Structure formats: structure tokens, C-alpha cells
Amino acid sequence: MIEVEHLDKRYGDSFAVQDLNLTFPEGQLTALLGPSGCGKTTTLRMINRLIEPTGGRILLNGQDTRSLKPEVLRRGIGYVIQQIGLFPHLSVAQNVATVPDLLGRDRRMTAQRVDELLDLVGLDPAVYREKRPAELSGGQAQRVGVARALAADPPVLLMDEPFGALDPLARDRLQEAFRDIQRRLGKTVIMVTHDIDEALRLGDRVALMRAGRLEQFGTPDDLIHRPASDFVRDFLGEDATLRQLAGRPVSAFVRAGLPSPGAPRVQADLNARSALSVMLRESHDTLEVLRGEELLGHVAWQDLRGQGPA
């Protein structure tokens, strides 16, 4: 768990970050979201002490990070940035193994782990192990960057716009793959993004910042349905609900029981935004939700609009 207390970063007379108070829950992904210049990157870099705060403190599992040597601190905190900076003269496998090698880990174990990690991020080790960074696409290089950050098995991962440089299709795929990995490995992840869709889709929690301060901290649902201010509402925009629905299957909204007679049928893995479209098209305010032939229950219009059980 990472706790940030009264955190300040001042440059001359202006604050990049001002009186930030925030707890990043363990094993969850928190998106740091906000307009350009609001202090996201500064916050992230204060956590691994690439930037030293001018005030306040940061606790990692209850321990003040200032009491740890930066290099010791960073061993437990992976860091992924957009320009991932793979070493061009090293192979993919050597790049992924950088940290374990530095830590003097057993070579054979490391080689095996490198293969597992490449597999995990969707790169066939037999094909990619010996390639050089110059032979990779942008998306493949990003995957290697994620594998490298995971190689030291840090409990905490800091990510700064990790998927920013990718085309939309590659970004979608890597986001999904990463979300899976994060859930499976139970890492605590803090991800800087200015992409609202990305924050709402990937974040268990979203911290929305504005001019160095925290505007709202909550689940994507909280921000969308219970915005703390006009700024939050405006920032997310009117189609925030639709955006969030696009990222979730309709099965997440299912209630037990029968729908009203004549309700259209949809499959459970249909995304909720498309399910809403079916309701509009068919002029029906409930849908019957099936998985294959099995009836799971129904979903109602008001559930998709955010007043329901999900």
C-alpha cells in the first residue's frame, strides 16, 4: 500500500503538486488522470524518488520512503515509461533480464523467467528472444518494456503513459493483456494517463488531478455517476457513461429473474454499450441475457444508466 500525505512539489513560486493526500490500494490499478500539466508525472516520480518532494511524505507499506536508499526503494518498484528505452545493443532476452542480472540472480532461472514473461506479454519466446530492439514494432517494444518491468517481480509498478505511443488497435490489445497480467499477479499499479477511456477502462480507482491538487479519487463509477465537482463532470464529458459501458460486458449488469415479455435476447459477452443500442433499436427497456443457450437473467435500462446493481 502506498500512502501519500500532504505531498508538495514546488518549483520557485509555483506548485507542480500541492497538498496531495491519497492512498493507492494494494493489488489494484489506480489511474492518475488529468489535463496536461496537472502534476501526474511529478506525483509518479516522487513515489520512486526520481523527484524529491518539497513537502509531505510518502509511505510504502507504512515506511517513509525517505528512510530508504533510492536504489533500494526502486528495486521494489518497477517503472515503465512511454519511451521505454530498451538497450539497442542487447537482445530482447538480455533487455528483460537486466534487473535480475543486476541483482545477481541465477542465470538459468532468469532465462526461464524471461521466457515466461515474454509469453505472458504475448511474445513467442522462440521468435523474439534473440531479436534486437530495432527489429521490433512499437507495440512489441512496449511489450518487452512491460516484461522488463515485471522481471524483477516488483510488488509495485509505476507506469507513465505506457501505451501512449501505440496505434489504437495495438493499444487495445496491450491494455487488455496488461489488465489480465495485473489481475493475475496482483500487482499494485499506478498509471499516469491523460486518456479518459484508458483510465475508466483499466482503473480500479481513478485519481483525477487538477492544477497540482486532487479533484476526486474513486472508482470509475464514482467519477461518472457521483462527480465531486463540475470540473470532474466536464472533464469526463457527457458520453462518459457510454465510454465506460463500451469497456464492460453486459453480463456485468445482469439481474436474476425473467425480463418483461418479448424482450430481445443478447449474449453475455456483448459489450454493454451495444446492449444499450439494442434496447434503443428494439424500443424495449429490458434484455434477456444468455450465455450460449443458458439464460443468465435480464438487464434493465436503468441498470446500464448506472442506478442498478453493477
Ligand X SMILES: Nc1ncnc2c1ncn2[C@@H]1O[C@H](COP(=O)(O)OP(=O)(O)OP(=O)(O)O)[C@@H](O)[C@H]1O
CA-based angle 10:14:16, to the nearest 5? 55
Residues 271 and 248: beta-carbon distance below 8 Å: yes
What is the Cα 124 distance to its own chain's centre? 24
Cα–Cα dist 189/197, whole Å = 17
User: Is 41 a residue that touches ligand X (CB under 6 A)?
Assistant: yes
Question: Rule CB under 6 A: is residue 37 a binding residue for ligand X?
Answer: yes
Least Cβ distance, residue 160 to ligand X (angstroms): 8
Q: Which of 39, 154, 162, 220 binds ligand X (CB under 6 A)?
A: 39
Question: What's the CA gap between 310 and 301, in Å, rounded?
Answer: 12
**Burial level of 105, CB count in 10 A (0-12/13-18/19+)?**
middle
Identify which range of 36-44, 112-120, 289-297, 300-308 contacts ligand X by CB under 6 A. Answer: 36-44
The reply to whether 36 sits near ligand X by the rule CB under 6 A is yes
Residue 31 is a binding residue for ligand X (CB under 6 A): no
Lookup: cell for 249: 460486458
SS3 289: strand
Q: Which is nearer to ligand X, 155 or 164 (CB)?
A: 164
- Joined grid coordinates for residue 105: 540472480
8 A C-beta contact, residue 191 and residue 202? yes
Whole-angstrom distance, CA of residue 240 vs CA of residue 283: 23
Contact (CB, 8 A) for 270 and 264: no
Binding part of the chain for ligand X, among 23-31, 34-42, 249-257, 260-268 by CB under 6 A, reads 34-42
Gap between the terminal Cα atoms of the chain: 26
* Residue with smaller CB distance to ligand X, 42 or 142: 42
Do the Cβ atoms of 7 and 46 come closer than 8 Å?
Answer: yes
| Number of chain residues interacting with ligand X (CB under 6 A) | 11
Question: 95, 117 in Cβ contact below 8 A?
Answer: no
Among positions 193-212, residues that touch ligand X (CB under 6 A) are 194
Closest CB to ligand X among residues 173, 194: 194
**Minimal distance, residue 225 CB to ligand X, in Å:** 25
Residue 42 makes contact with ligand X by CB under 6 A: yes
Q: Of the listed pieces 32-40, 59-67, 96-104, 136-144, which binds ligand X according to CB under 6 A?
A: 32-40
Closer to ligand X at the Cβ: 209 or 245?
209
Q: Which is nearer to ligand X, 44 or 268 (CB)?
A: 44
Q: What is the DSSP letter of 270?
A: S
Q: Taking contact as CB under 6 A, which single stretch among the options 31-39, 66-74, 85-93, 167-175 is the one that binds ligand X?
A: 31-39
Query: Min. distance of Cβ 35 from ligand X in angstroms?
Result: 7
13 lies in the binding site for ligand X (CB under 6 A): no
Identify which of residues 81 and 151 has a Cβ nearer to ligand X in the complex.
81
Among 4, 16, 196, 223, binds ligand X (CB under 6 A): 16
Site string for ligand X, 153-172 (x = CB under 6 A): --------------------
Assign 3-state DSSP to the chain and report helix, strand, coil percentages, each to 5: 40, 25, 30
Any contact of residue 268 with ligand X (CB under 6 A)? no
Name the residues that contact ligand X, by CB under 6 A.
11, 16, 34, 36-42, 194
